[in-house]
Amino acid sequence: MKIFFMSDIHGSLYYLNKALKAYEREKCEYIVILGDILYHGPRNDIPKGYDPKSVANTLNKLKNKIMCVKGNCDGEVDQMMIEFPILCDYSTIFYKEKRLFLTHGHKYNKNNMLPVDKGDIIISGHTHIPVCEKVEGLYFINPGSITFPKENTKHSYGILEDDKFIIKDLNGENILQITIE
């Protein structure tokens, strides 16, 4: 199974369409959205192609392929427009006998951990900075942001396939990768 990860869309139809082209190019089975879907947030400028209603409509067409967690910019009003669940603070899925914790990162992170065991994989967004690291037996992965990359990083997404998590820019060029043991 090949899974596509993206975070921090922030209402940009322009960058969502670029990410969905990457999803198609990558031939992934599912999409995981790590929060901050429609609203640009009070600390961000309005992004290129800001169109939350069209973002919702575009994602709703893929609702059977999407798993999602709530970001700090997501709320009940957003759930009224989106036809898949978005209001869980975290979710867990199993992938090849590994437990993946999916969260946005504003509540659960390295400083406020979920109940994890060595070898578990914590995948979050929120910081808008791509990360692939293993610390004390735990994997921490952040695919970055498709809309608002920070600290001179690129607009990015992640792919999980076999035993590798690869973070790529929206053109498909590798940025980071980690092998899951």
CATH of domain 2-179: 3.60.21.10
Dihedral sign of CA atoms 93, 95, 101, 102 in order: negative
Q: Tell me the per-residue pLDDT of 17-64, one tens digit each, with 9 for 90 and over.
A: 999 999 999 999 999 999 999 999 999 999 999 999 999 999 999 999
> What pLDDT sits at residue 118?
93
Task: Kindly report each contact of residues 110-115 with a partner whose C-beta sits within 8 Å and lies 24 or more positions away, as own/partner.
Answer: 110/135, 110/140, 114/90
Average pLDDT, stretch 118-142? Answer: 97
Average pLDDT, stretch 3-23? Answer: 98
What's the pTM value of the predicted model, to 2 decimals?
Answer: 0.97
Residue 114 has pLDDT above 90, yes or no: no
In the numeric block, which tokens belong to residue 128?
Answer: 């808008």
> What pLDDT sits at residue 60?
98
> What pLDDT sits at residue 90?
97
Mean of all residue pLDDT scores within the chain? 96
- Beta strands per DSSP E along the chain: 2-6, 30-33, 66-68, 90-95, 98-103, 121-124, 131-135, 138-142, 156-161, 164-169, 174-179
Q: Tell me the per-residue pLDDT of 163-179, one tens digit each, with 9 for 90 and over.
A: 999 999 999 999 999 99
**What is the pLDDT confidence band of residue 180, given thresholds at 50, 70 and 90?**
very high
**What is the pLDDT confidence band of residue 97, given thresholds at 50, 70 and 90?**
confident
